[in-house]
Amino acid sequence: MRRWFPAPTKDLQDLEFRPGTVTASCGSLAHVARILYGYSPVVQRFLTTVGQLYSDFSRGQPTLMARFIFITGGVVSSLGKGLVAAALGALLQARGYSVRLRKLDPYLNVDPGTMSPFEHGEVFGTDDGAETDLDLGHYERFTGVPARKTDSISSGRVYTNVLEKERRGDYLGKTIQVIPHVTNEIKDFISIGEDEVDFMLCEIGGTVGDIEGLPFFEAIRQFSQDKPRGQCLFMHLTLLPYIKASGELKTKPTQHSVKELRSIGLAPDLLVCRSEGPIPKKEREKLALFCNVRPDAVIAAQDLKSIYEAPLAYHREGMDQAVADPFGISPAPKPNLARWEDVADRIYNPEGEVRVAIVGKYTQLEDAYKSIAEALTHGGMANRVKVKIEWVDAELFDREDATPHLQGFHAILVPGGFGERGTEGKIKAAQYAREHQVPYLGICLGMQMAVIEAARNVAGIAEAGSEEFDHEAGKKRFEPVVYHLKEWAQGNHKVQRKSDDDKGGTMRLGAYDATLAEGSKVAAIYGSTHIEERHRHRYEVDTKYKEKLEACGLNFSGMSPDGSLPEIVEWSDHPWFIGVQFHPELKSKPFAPHPLFKDFVRAAKETSRLV
């Protein structure tokens, strides 16, 4: 329970409240009960219950614990539950609330870290080293709240935890079952940090009816019963298909989805309906009648030109008020949407356009580079230009000359990846950018390929390559300018790895500090010589080649604090050529573009004026 009254030594007049949260020092409602009425446990329990059930936002009264919003999906997958959750989080913040967003995924992988990008899109890395679903990237970009390990869980992690407890004997000989042991593990996860925020938004992956999702649906059903009435809300996202031949918007799939949800004990309070256009009044009333929700709780989620219009669009539809009503927040404070109005203005009123080529190996699925694409959009917004991204398959350059395919672009970005496939094409892209003075940003593997290109074509190390490719081929073919990282400092201790370790969770993960060289381009971009960025890699540029490469003009302008690991390289005689070992895209937001992407797009904008 969140404590909201002062310690015994404080006077009650010292209380200070603000909407959605309380800034008084620690204490408890029961403590005030003792002050006012003595130590009667009956009175203490009564006042505690009253505080939980009837705390009122608008009058500045305390919120004792988080309100929970569970977002589920039906009819089809990929409707955008993560985007809906993120936009709702932004709207709640605009009304003065604090929020945290979570993702519960039913798949049996422990986390997405070992999944192919073609299978699941990008893996979003957090400051504390979690490898999570890409939806957590939406959460961060819309709310600015850094995600944590405790914000993502899967069936694989749940079952692993349960089985580890069973092996330790934590269950005292009980027969382990889905109910209550698995569902209790899920409920414990949902409860983490509930006393830290005003609203906890939990997205359940998959769609209602999926067999692997049943323990999660049962867990949130139980969770809502465990909490006081009025503390949990269920939002269901569905599809309203438009039948062009008959000119009708069909509600039946949504009705069946809600019926399926109700059959497992969950009744939605809000319906968010994806559609190509507005939902007519007749269809809204029909959905409300057959799905047992209020007409104003049927929210249209129309297709948008930009995802960053979502907070404004959902506010126009009344989503945030429809969420406030079931919680008894009335009248709700007016939202301050100036931030999102500015974002929309920058998106829809650009003053130019730049073309950026992303030369990657997973270009068939754009979600594999979701954060990079969004970070480029943020950089464009900061520079008042539209960034036109064009995806170039790196393997194309294995067969063809890169020049005809890269001519006309104002900047080139080479992203990360794993394995040897497509790497020769990435090396050629780096070579083209260096020789033609085109702005270049290499991220993770993109930095390593730029270093290999410099080693081969400038420093004269003809056989330069990566140890990763030798490990994959099972034989030595290259001089390892890039090697397998076996040891690094993490805080006050050393982390050690071997090449035959398990793949899952064994990379250099999470936020690490870096020291930038005085007078370097990156120091000017960041406005500092000390930065912290997120990493996700197990191979690293070998510092024994540093002196030779720097003699050729490739400066190692960013290093780990102990000087052992290269973090950033840049060409001294190039207008904008930077490679980074970390993933700057993971920290970029529409209202706070990452400095590297902001300046990268600025350089592309300058190039466009010269063409």
From the candidates 138, 405, 444, 533, which is the catalytic residue?
A: 444
Residue whose C-alpha is closest to residue 464's, from 478, 485, 447, 448: 478
Q: Quick one: tokens of 18? A: 């603000």
How far apart are alpha carbons 457 and 450 in whole angstroms? 10
3-41 in b/e form (b: 16+ CB < 10 A) is: bbbbeeeeeeeebeeebbbbebeebbbbbbbeeeeeeee
Q: Are the C-beta atoms of residues 310 and 343 closer than 8 Å to each other? A: no
For strands 508-516 and 577-580, give the pairing: unpaired
Q: Angle CA(254)–CA(257)–CA(259) in degrees, nearest 5?
A: 110
Q: Quick one: tokens of 168? A: 């330790």
How far apart are alpha carbons 550 and 548 in whole angstroms? 6
How far apart are alpha carbons 498 and 379 in whole angstroms? 38
Scanning the structure block, which residue is given the tokens 């009503």?
Answer: 325
How far apart are alpha carbons 541 and 485 in whole angstroms? 9
Q: Are the C-beta atoms of residues 75 and 287 closer than 8 Å to each other? A: no
One-letter amino acid of 342: D
Q: Quick one: tokens of 592? A: 């706070």
Q: Angle CA(133)–CA(134)–CA(135) in degrees, nearest 5?
A: 90
Q: Quick one: tokens of 439? A: 């702005």
Scanning the structure block, which residue is given the tokens 């949130």?
Answer: 220
Task: Look up 405 and say whether it is catalytic.
Answer: no
Residue 496 exposed, middle or buried by CB count within 10 Å (0-12, 13-18, 19+): exposed
Q: Tell me the DSSP string of 531-557.
A: EEEEEEESEEE-GGGHHHHHHTTEEEE
How far apart are alpha carbons 406 and 61 in whole angstroms? 60
From the candidates 467, 574, 585, 594, which is the catalytic residue?
A: 585
Helix 183-191 vs helix 214-226: crossing angle, to nearest 10: 60
Task: Measure Cα distances from 137 to 85, 121, 585, 588 in Å.
Answer: 12, 12, 10, 9
Task: Look up 463 and say whether it is catalytic.
Answer: no
Task: Look up 585 and say whether it is catalytic.
Answer: yes
How far apart are alpha carbons 460 and 264 in whole angstroms? 67
Output the CA torsion 408→429→386→351 (10° steps): -50
Tell me the three-class secondary structure of 161-209, residue by residue. HHHHHHHHCCCCCCCCCHHHHHHHHHHHHHHCCCCCCCEEEEEECCCCC
How does DSSP classify residue 592? B
The alpha carbon of residue 467 and the mean position of all alpha carbons in its chain are separated, in whole angstroms, by 31
How far apart are alpha carbons 339 and 32 in whole angstroms? 40
Q: Quick one: tokens of 182? A: 């698995």
Kindly list the catalytic residues: 444, 583, 585
